[in-house]
Chain A
Amino acid sequence: MKAKLPTQCPSCETLLSVSQLSCETCQTVVQGNYPLPVFLKLSPKEQEFILQFFLTSGSLKEMASQLGISYPTVRNQLDDMIQHIKDLNI
């Protein structure tokens, strides 16, 4: 099973930050306090949407046809995501 990366604090729901990174080969550990990249702040559904958007060269029509939904539905999802990213204050 592929473990899901938690991005929100299970206690207070604040966005988590990266405090430790480690090398699997030499076991070097880097500690600090790094904010999560924008992409990881999004929900898995939104991340999947961005990936699909990229793979269809940004064609919403092609995305709609691949996902089996209409063009305005895909456009609305994109608009909602843009608003969500703007709300994240990036």
Chain B
Amino acid sequence: MKKLLNPIEFYNDRKLLIVNLIIFVIGSTLAAYFRGWFDHTFHLSFRTDINFYKTFIESGVCVLLLGIFIFIAGKIINNKTRFIDALNLAFYIRIPFYLFALTNYDGRYSDLNSPIAEGNIMVALPSTSLDFIILIITSLLSLAILVFQFITIYKGFKTLSNAKKITDYLILAALLIVSMIVSSILLKNL
């Protein structure tokens, strides 16, 4: 479990990068296949008109921006912080998004976009007990992903920058917010 929550503490950086790259390619393909798209570093949405190439670029931009901002936060705290570790953390914390894309296996969420855009909100509400069960499972999965990402970022950043003080984590939090804003602006114009 320790290794799962903080692989940067235990595994060789190059081997981890190769594994992360393989997961990135498979994960981004899965996300595109299940009609997912990334509108910023910490968000996955679904839509009907998906372009495989664009989802890949979006995924790549998100990882790269996240890696750069984690690296900047690390560099501010500890000058010995390396980009490869920041990039590995960026790759790793986005893995749950690829798994989450599977929840749209039947187009459940992507198909809701058009009626909602037209103002038909009733379509989006769960009507059967199965809908409710799926909604609860999806909500719990989202919560689990959030907790996993929070722990992984905390532990991973601690390892890559030797962060100890609360102010170190405040710097990281501020830069993660900046990464969301920058990626959101960048991806809108892509």
Contact = CB atoms under 8 A, between A and B. Distances in A.
Contacts, number: 34
B13 A73 contact: no
Main secondary structure of the interface of B (DSSP, over half): helix
A62 B166 CA distance: 32
Given A79-B80, A79-B162, A80-B162, A72 B8 contact: yes
Contacts of B159: 70, 72-73, 76
B9 A73 contact: yes
B160 interface: yes
B162 A70 contact: no
Interface in B50-101: 78, 80, 82, 85
Interface of A: 64-65, 68-73, 75-76, 79-80
5 tightest Cβ-Cβ pairs between the two chains A and B:
A76-B162, A73-B9, A72-B160, A72-B159, A72-B85
Interface of B: 8-13, 16, 78, 80, 82, 85, 159-160, 162
